[in-house]
A and B are shown apart, each in its own frame.
Chain A
């Protein structure tokens, strides 16, 4: 049976995040011929209509109120709710990101619906939409369905492949306006400090170079950063490295911290405690560099080098430079 699907586009710094295109691909798969509507918020939203159409939206709803330029829960909540009332979707999909993760549960509570968060796969089984999601940070998985009412889910970035964009596709565009009641925007963002230097976010990075206690100091992360820079990747860390004060907790990967699934994960001086493995063991390819050949990280690694990371990492950086220069 065809279903109307609503995708809330995930915007960061006035740009669409890739997870929006991934959600459109999932939407196409579950819609079974139904209409796919994308909603995008902010005074700049008109500029984002074309890519949403190229990636599969049949209809794009823009909400241009400037109150939506910077994400706040209350503003997004009201706009999202208004769009849902307008579209009357059977299915709602969005990213499991700082935005989707924050606003979706609140909207689900208001609508009295279920919500399946942080999904890594979506499939149709006999017409029913089945979501796969990790539990215990990926030590196990469950398949989950919504029993009745709107099927509402947030999708983990980097797990469902976006489709090929079609530059000729166009979408019907509609504009909605939200009247924000006085005092209905109860939180005020005063300032934002960018910490993710280099702009590669851990949860969406294709390549992650990660350091553990073996990195020994904040200074020790430098060669890792250099390798990440050459590869266009991001730097992560184990709890050990964060607890030792070598880096910010924002970089922590593990059951506490971030769960990541990059194409390539290079673990440097990380022993591989269970709680760290939970955060990265579903990466597509894992490289381990560690002095201790018995380190448990080697059990999940596709490739291992037993050696001092301070020798190995710069060698790798040089080799990658050569390879990438040769094309």
Chain B
């Protein structure tokens, strides 16, 4: 089975966010595989272990993003493709990313039976690229899955629908996006890390792909980036716990007016 995983390198979720010159400051930040994409990588490797085949991991990002691909390879992915869109500068949004991924898959002849993505990235949080890519490739998609079974060309998934679970059947080829709860991603083993260094990695730039720069340019634009206002220190109640409970309930009604 040929399995593709699209992943993004993101800030670690424990990072604090600061702004410099109107943009998110990346200096000194720890980068990781987007946690939802990590579920996708783990599920891809599990599929390969069951059915055989090859796992290709694809990312779009600057040089540092190679580390995310190497981590995925250390977990068990076989090869990687990194596309650097530096030439586009700020002209990148979800429309761009989906177009570039689709072009990469087509032009690099990346055969696939199934494509896995995280359902969203923890930085931009837009949850767009998976469904957009599926549409461009003219295959169905199922988002926010928490269980995946493939038998022959039959696909069965459990999909999280805001707390409820839908049991869905479909057929390969398909794109699925991973929700939390799909699996527990493995840690790369030491031999895995050693092997990953030698696994094949293809580096592409925009010029390597047959794309019209104007057509793929971002359709949307960020005009301001800002931090939420800092919260004032709250009120810590004191006294007997029963009195505190009484006081809190009164405060929520008369001061905060939420009850």
Contacts and interface: CB of A to CB of B under 8 A. Distances in A.
Interface stretch (A25-33, A60-68, A136-144): A136-144
Given A287-B252, A319-B249, A105 B131 contact: yes
B233 A144 contact: no
Nearest to B137: A109
Interface string A257-268: 101000110000
A115 B128 contact: yes
Contacts of A98: 144, 161-162
Interface in A105-156: 105-106, 108-110, 112-118, 130, 134-149
B227 A114 contact: no
Contact of B93 (A104, A114, A250, A255): A114
B190 interface: no
A249 interface: yes
Interface in B114-152: 122-136, 140-144, 146
Interface string B166-185: 11111100100000110000
Specify which of A130, A140, A196, A301 lies most central, judged by the most chain B CB atoms within 10 Å of its CB.
A140
Given A106-B141, A201-B163, A323-B259, A141 B226 contact: yes
Interface residues of B, number: 80
Given A118-B125, A187-B168, A190-B167, A316 B234 contact: no
A106 B16 contact: no
B165 interface: yes
A256 B234 CA distance: 26
Interface stretch (B44-52, B53-61, B215-223): B215-223
A315 B233 CA distance: 24
A225 B248 CA distance: 19
A112 B95 CA distance: 7
A305 B252 CA distance: 13
Contact of B219 (A135, A146, A194, A304): A146
A54 interface: no
A136 B162 contact: no
A107 B234 CA distance: 44
B86 to A, nearest CB: 21
Given A112-B95, A118-B125, A275-B14, A304 B235 contact: yes
A137 B122 CA distance: 7
Given A102-B143, A285-B256, A323-B249, A142 B222 contact: yes
Contact of A278 (B13, B94, B144): B13
A202 interface: yes
Interface string A293-325: 100001111111111000110011011100110
A78 interface: no
B242 A147 contact: no
Contact of A108 (B35, B128, B143, B221): B128
Contacts of B163: 195-196, 201-202, 250-251
Please name the 7 residue pairs, one residue from A and one from B, whose CB atoms are nearest each other, closest first.
A114-B219, A196-B163, A315-B245, A249-B181, A186-B140, A105-B128, A109-B132
18 contacts: A106-B135, A117-B126, A135-B123, A145-B223, A186-B171, A189-B167, A189-B168, A193-B165, A259-B125, A274-B13, A293-B236, A298-B234, A298-B236, A300-B231, A302-B231, A303-B256, A304-B234, A324-B259
